[in-house]
Amino acid sequence: MKLVSIITSFVILWLINSLPLVKKKQWKILKQTSIIFTIGLFIILAEFFNWQKFNPTNWLNAWFQPIHTFFFGK
């Protein structure tokens, strides 16, 4: 439930911030912010799924481990 509330608030904040860009048709900036948003969401998910064994010095492993587990199993 905590994960759902974090993701929902993150999405709502991103939508509120992107509305002026859509009105002004600044698609290049919107594309950049969506890439940053996606990277941030992946980092949040990696921290959530590896919160017990998350090590900041080894963040790449923590970021790719859920993806690797999803596609290839343990």
**pLDDT tens for residues 58-73?**
656 666 667 667 667 6
pTM over 0.85: no
**What whole-number distance in Å separates Cα of residue 38 and Cα of residue 32?**
10
Q: What is the pLDDT of residue 54?
A: 53
**Residues 6 or more apart from 7 whose CB is under 8 A from it?**
41, 44
